[in-house]
Amino acid sequence: MPEYGLIPARGNWELRWFPTTSAATFKKGALLNLDDTFLLREYLSTDSQCLGIAMSNSTASTAVVGGLNSVLVALPAPNCTAYSDITTGVTASSVSVGQASVIYKVGNIASYASTVMGQASRFSALVTIVGPVQADTSQVEVAFNALTQVIYSTSSATFLT
């Protein structure tokens, strides 16, 4: 199973530094969100939105924002797409352009698109499949849904517990 992580693809991605105090580690390419104090953390399955993609490992954070350790994040502006890993067991024939998808964590990286769960749940479906499965890399191109973003969204940030 590959672990390339999410990779920004098409569109005008915006790069910004976000502070983090999270003790949890995440890898480059992981999907990220903000915690209830608006500090950076890895995306959780209970989240209804996401912030962007980690451009470095959290263990490589740098004191940038207000002296706090910070991570560079790629923010998807409208019309941005990314390449997402897909998991073993998800066949190319089960992934269709236009299909809603969740992003979830396998191993130590939250970057896997799946149609196995969340297809019927608009709460969980962060992305839409916009390209075919790339068999050689086990990736698929996805577009971020407009109401599932923290920035460039018409939705407000929510924090579930």
pLDDT along the chain (161 residues), means of 10: 84 92 83 89 83 89 82 92 84 81 77 65 78 86 83 60 46
Query: In this structure, how many other beta carbons lie within 10 angstroms of the beta carbon of residue 154?
Result: 7
Say whether both 86 and 60 belong to one domain. Answer: no
Of 75, 101, 132, the residue at which a domain comes to its end is 75
Say whether both 27 and 46 belong to one domain. Answer: yes
What does the pLDDT read at residue 36?
85
Number of domains in the chain: 2
Say whether both 95 and 54 belong to one domain. Answer: no
**Residue 25 near residue 108, CB atoms below 8 Å:** yes
What does the pLDDT read at residue 161?
46
Classify residue 155: in a domain, yes or no: no
Say whether both 54 and 95 belong to one domain. Answer: no
What does the pLDDT read at residue 142?
93
What separation in angstroms does the CA of 26 have from each of 69, 82, 101, 111? 14, 18, 21, 11
What does the pLDDT read at residue 153?
62
Three-state SS at 145: coil
